[in-house]
Amino acid sequence: MGQSSSKKDPVLLEEGLTMEEIQAEREEYVNNLKIEYQYSCYEEKDADGCHLLGEYMEAIEKNANKAFELFQRNCEQNQHTTSCYRYALYLMGGKVCESSMTKALKPAKIACDGKKPEACKLLSLIHWNGESDRAADSKKAEEYMKRACDMDNSDACGFLHSWYLGPEHMLKYNPNRKPHMGHLERDVEKAVHYGDKACNFGSGIACRSMSRLYYVGDGVAKDKDKGNGNLINFYKKPMNPSSPRYLRRQSSSDANGYVPPYGRESIHTTADEEHLRVTGLRRKKLMTLMIWLGVLTLLVIILFAINITLIRVLQMRYQGMTWLRFHTYSDDKNGNSQVSSVHFTAQKIDLGHVVANSGKVLGTRDKRLIIHGSRVIVNTKENGTRLVLQDGLCRLENVEQFQVVSGINGKTLFSAQHPLVTIDRKIKQIAAKGMITNKIRSPVNENLKIETENANLRGNEGIQLDSKAFNATAKTTLLLKTSKDGSIRFNGKKIHIGNRWKVLSLSTSPALTASVDAFRVCVCQSTRPKLFIVNGNKPCSAPATVCP
């Protein structure tokens, strides 16, 4: 017994070829067409070849951008009629470029002048449908539509028929008519003429409209026979391929091509025709939409899980978190106004930057508010007054006025404009490494005593010491120093200078009977007086270096 084959023998078709072989021949033929069109366009510079190459890119390779470039160049350089028509359709469609009826005027005019009825119809519709920046031109629309109708275009004759009837007498009047559309005066005679012509060319819409005119008697005498005759013509005549009801893919050479769906020949003006252009989602677009919806759903689930995790980790409640709570209370000082506050209940809170809208940061009653940081800055606003705590120093910056106010009675204890610091009588001693002030004074009839290991009194513009009795005592050295042009003045009933308390005995001049242990105080009689001392038994004379 012979073995049965698991595969069927290939079916032999015409000329003994299989379907695969026929398909391969067809693919080879199509590829050869591309080579032929490219050679005709680029080598022979043939306008028809360039147009056929554009149709090939559009229909076979589905490359609308390349087809648009070929139609544009062939129209602008070679004034090719059909390429200009296709170029105008692309400009109107807006798939590969921005939709512009104004830009489509020029190529549509070239194609219409080349006696292409579809181009004349398109040019007329562009003039009929104005835009916000371009008014409709009804006269030009009528002129070009007549040219298209004279070239036996049924749609053009049908448009003229409806235009001469007016928008009110359409089968279904659209009250939301665009404000920029053209308008022609009602002329029933012309409407009947172009309606009969369109119906004879096979326009079903025109046949039905003419039948309605005769049935109703809209501008013409009622004639049911003519009305029935138009309906009979509508059903007898084959559907015109150029009718909007029959969307035929038509090439420039009237064979083996198509007009892309984004460049249809007619511009719909009624609500029903506009509704027919609305299509559903294609399969690929629907799949893409479903994928994106799935991704968004997944993101929502992830974000929801993250939020739940944050709530559990931070232990959040309706008033806040465990260690951070939000409260609202009435402030008696501000007329029982509602004030919001943030309450930190933890022992330590680590915060990087805190902004208090109320300008207040308060601690717990009867407890210290301790702020730790390598550099603590307290400010009210950016580039405003701020308090800087750094390196053991407390520094106020950008301050025009500084006051210390009592928290009990609101009394000003210290003001930078009037820098007088009053020390309570209970305070007997103040210790500091250094003090910068312009005045220190003691109460009346009380002593002011300054004790230090090394005292340095310095005044940028001088030092003035006023008292009933002034005593400066130093263990080793008491140095009085002034600048080159400065001076030191002593004014008092008695002046004691020495290393111990001892009255300076002065002799009655010129006897010079004073002790040699004493000194005589002398003054240089010059433009710049100087004080100097000599031995008590010596006259007041000094070298030129001392008294010039």
Q: Considering the entire predicted model, what is its pTM?
A: 0.41
Query: Tens of pLDDT along 325-334?
Result: 777 777 776 6
Residue 428 is predicted with a pLDDT of 73
Residue 8 is predicted with a pLDDT of 42
Q: How many whole angstroms from its chain centre is CA 305?
A: 31
**Among candidate residues 63, 85, 64, the one with its CA nearest the CA of residue 74:** 85
Q: How far is CA 162 from CA 26, 138, 192, 209, in A?
A: 46, 14, 10, 9
Determine how many CB atoms are found less than 10 A away from the CB of residue 428.
7
530's CB contacts (< 8 A; 6+ apart) are 523, 524, 546, 547
Helix, strand, coil fractions of the chain, as percent rounded to 5:
35, 10, 55
Residue 71 is predicted with a pLDDT of 92
HEC profile of 320-388: ECCCEEEEEEEEHHHCCEEEEEEEECCCCCCCCCCCCCCCCCCCCCCCCCCCCCCEEEEECCCCCCEEE
Crossing angle of helices 204-216/188-200, nearest 10°? 140
Distance CA 395, CA 220 (A): 102
Query: Tens of pLDDT along 500-521?
Result: 554 545 555 555 555 556 677 8
Mean pLDDT of the chain: 75
CATH code reported for the domain at 14-276? 1.25.40.10
Q: How far is CA 276 from CA 5, 95, 158, in A?
A: 54, 19, 19
Side chain identity, residue 18: T
DSSP-derived letter for residue 263 is: G
Distance CA 35, CA 42 (A): 11
Contact indicator for 37, 56 with CB cutoff of 8 Å: yes
Q: State the alpha helices, DSSP H only, in 217-270.
A: 224-236
Distance CA 488, CA 495 (A): 14
Tokens 């350089």 sit on residue: 77
Range from 42-56, 252-266, 383-397 carrying the lowest mean pLDDT: 252-266
Q: Give span(s): CATH 1.25.40.10, the chain.
A: 14-276
Q: Which H or E element spans position 106?
A: helix 105-113
Instruction: Report helix, strand or coil for 109.
Output: helix
**Among candidate residues 267, 195, 255, 257, the one with its CA nearest the CA of residue 230:** 195
DSSP-derived letter for residue 392 is: T
Q: Is the pLDDT of residue 343 over 90?
A: no
Q: Which H or E element spans position 414?
A: strand 412-415
Q: Is the pLDDT of residue 3 over 70?
A: no
Query: Tens of pLDDT along 308-317?
Result: 998 888 777 7
Distance CA 289, CA 281 (A): 9
Mean pLDDT on 73-85: 92
Q: Confidence class of residue 225 from pLDDT cuts 50, 70 and 90?
A: low
Instruction: Report helix, strand or coil for 78.
Output: helix
Burial of 143 (0-12, 13-18, 19+ CB in 10 A): middle
In percent, how much of the chain has pLDDT > 90?
Answer: 14
Q: Is the pLDDT of residue 252 over 70?
A: no
Residue 233 is predicted with a pLDDT of 58
Q: How far is CA 68 from CA 49, 257, 306, in A?
A: 15, 15, 50
Contact indicator for 87, 99 with CB cutoff of 8 Å: no
Tokens 């087809």 sit on residue: 67
Residue 512 is predicted with a pLDDT of 52
Mean pLDDT on 128-156: 89
Q: How far is CA 441 from CA 73, 404, 425, 466, in A?
A: 100, 20, 13, 9
Q: Confidence class of residue 524 from pLDDT cuts 50, 70 and 90?
A: confident
226's CB contacts (< 8 A; 6+ apart) are 210, 214
**Among candidate residues 108, 113, 115, the one with its CA nearest the CA of residue 90:** 108
Q: How far is CA 381 from CA 221, 297, 339, 377, 386, in A?
A: 88, 43, 21, 11, 8
